[in-house]
Amino acid sequence: MPHIAPLAGSDPRQLGSFRLTGRIGEGGQGVVYLGENEQGEKAAIKLLHIKFSGDSIARSRFARELKAAQRVASFCTARVLEADLEGDTPYIASEYIEGRSLREIVDTDGPLRGTALDRLAIGTATALTAIHHASIVHRDFKPDNVLIAADGPRVVDFGIARIIDSTGTITSRAIGTPAYMAPEQISGDEVGPYTDVFAWGATIAFAATGKTVFEGTSIAVVLNRILNHEVDVSVMHEPLRGTVQAALSKEPDRRPTADQILLRLLGQPDSAGASTALLSQGAELAGDDTSPIPRQRVTVAGRTGQQPSGPLTQPAVHHGQPGAGQSGITQQGAGEPGGGQQGVSQTLQAAPGRAQAPSSGSSGPVRAPSGPFQAPPAPPAPPAEPPRRRTGPWIGLGLAVVLIVAAVAALAWRGVLPLPWGADPSVDPTPEESPGTFTSLVDKVAKTGKIVIGVKGDLPNIGLESPANRFTGFEVELGRRIARGLGADPDGITFVRVYRDTRDDVLINGEVDLVLATYTMDDGDVQFAGPYYLAHQDVLVREGEGIEKLADLAGKSLCAPQSPSVGNVQRRVPEVKLVRASDYGECMNMLSAGTVDAIPGEDLILAGFAQRALALHRVLGAKLTNERYAVGIKKGDVRACKAVTGILAELWRDRTMAKLLKQYFGKVSFKPELKQPAAAACG
């Protein structure tokens, strides 16, 4: 385990809310300390050297590092916890990652194989996608800047990262670690996200082979190998092999984007961008060595193999997360790439990764650019070959057993032999035991203890899906309580993802029993119980920006996803400037970056996205419309409607609803409706 050096006599003992306990490392720019606050949260605290404290250029670089780190959503990166750039001792405190660097692990334990390599690739691709969604080019992606924590890999060190300008690129300078530079960095051409993709490919190749793939006895040799040497990736399996090979293309326009890398590794089509749900899946898979790596398209209620889109949106080309926790700085040592000591040791078990959040898109001035080069979609990679097992002797035995059972069953059903379980083949099952024949959902739950509930899968803090069909959020917890109120067994409650345009269909055809998916009551083809909440079209702004009422938006920039709320705001404030966006994830990225001043939408959805952001946000309370969110039930099931309406009334009476609203939206300056909305009639 790397050594944490004791504090020197001249070292500070306190920085901000953190008590310093040791030195992690030191570089040319400053010292990195280990600190702990009163809540027991550990931080890697980078302190600018006192000799630079009066240097405006050094402070400017330090501020740039902080800005880059704060822009990136915390998918497999390290959150910024605290910072002070104005005082006599400027510092940045980021989440402390207890783990060894990828370089140290490979050098000590050897190359990664199988699941461990898969999870490393997925986790780092997730981090790189989040970085690029924030319009950041890392510029020094390498094994030293990948720390392997207990919950998987984290990409750190934004010391030389640059924010991309409006052209989607930045002017190249020979910055970075030579063996992980891309050809365009060597030739002096423009660099962009595709430059990080090349470094990612070289890093994964190092992890898989145990060798620096562009190694040389001098810098000249290294640079020559980068420009002319083709890397042998045969040790990897598909789809990783083909993805790394494409990432290491000498031509930037032939490389996949970070989004495409992540989608391919998750077995998804790469013709669209990676949604926030996919970022969450990638981060969780990278950090969970018990979940299988998916290698095929996902089937969900009403659709097959499509990525979820945000509320009232179309699928986006690029997606991101609005500031849900922020990314970190180097935890090796301050200053130059690769300097300093590592953090506390944590061995890589069968995996690497982690995290979760919203979604963004491709249009608008601060979309996550892929530079002027966009690789064409590649066909889906074939599934990884499963491990071979010695199954020969068992196959014959298994076939024999199957044949015997089949023969006995055939004779039994012909009347030659009695059925071993005593059933009469001439008697059909009772209607109550046949799927789909219950006269009411109430009867089905009472008889089987089971219920299937449709929820959105891409709305943070409302209904967000993670791997293995795990759902979290306000509507998910509400669905559980309704199901238990109907008498469902805890293990008999199943959640599936539904979409805005298929919610009616999946209820009508019986794929789901209930739908909670920000479902507004109308006179359609389904029954509604409730409403359980009265939402409103409103506007989200950053706290402390001086926008207190709708009229203050005059002359301000308004993010404009595909939502009727945009027109409702524009009719009241004609002077507002619209900035087009694909969905709410992109809008949140714009709001965090200061590119727009406000986002219109339904207040509960806006609060759900804002809850995950590091900065504080406010829902104005304009209440432009009333949106009655209710529980969708199959039309004509009056008994179920009345039962659910009664359960909702009880949840309001015992203040459960108020507690859930505070739990899932309490961080946002938002005054939710805390009075039960008038119940609609059933039938």
The secondary structure element, H or E, covering residue 107 is helix 102-109
Question: What is the rounded CA–CA span in Å between residue 483 and residue 492?
Answer: 9
Bridge partners of residue 310, in order along the sequence: none
Closest by alpha carbon to 670, among 595, 602, 589? 602
Question: What is the rounded CA–CA span in Å between residue 119 and residue 127?
Answer: 12
**CA distance between the termini of the chain:** 67
3-state SS, one letter per residue, for 113-178: CHHHHHHHHHHHHHHHHHHHHCCEECCCCCHHHEEEECCEEEECCCCCCEECCCCCCECCCCCCCH
Q: Active-site positions?
A: 140
Give the DSSP letter string of 475-515: HHHHHHHHHHHTT--GGGEEEEE--TTTHHHHHHTTS-SEE
Structure tokens at 58: 């050094």
Closest by alpha carbon to 325, among 290, 262, 279? 279
Three-state DSSP state, 55: coil
Closest by alpha carbon to 507, among 491, 529, 489, 485? 529
Query: What contacts 406, CB < 8 A, 6 or more positions away?
Result: none
Three-state DSSP state, 54: coil
* Sequence letter at residue 505: D
Q: Is 520 exposed, middle or buried (0-12, 13-18, 19+ CB in 10 A)?
A: middle
Question: What is the rounded CA–CA span in Å between residue 339 and residue 28?
Answer: 8
Question: What is the rounded CA–CA span in Å between residue 573 and residue 103?
Answer: 55
Spell out the alpha helix ranges (H) of 272-391.
276-287
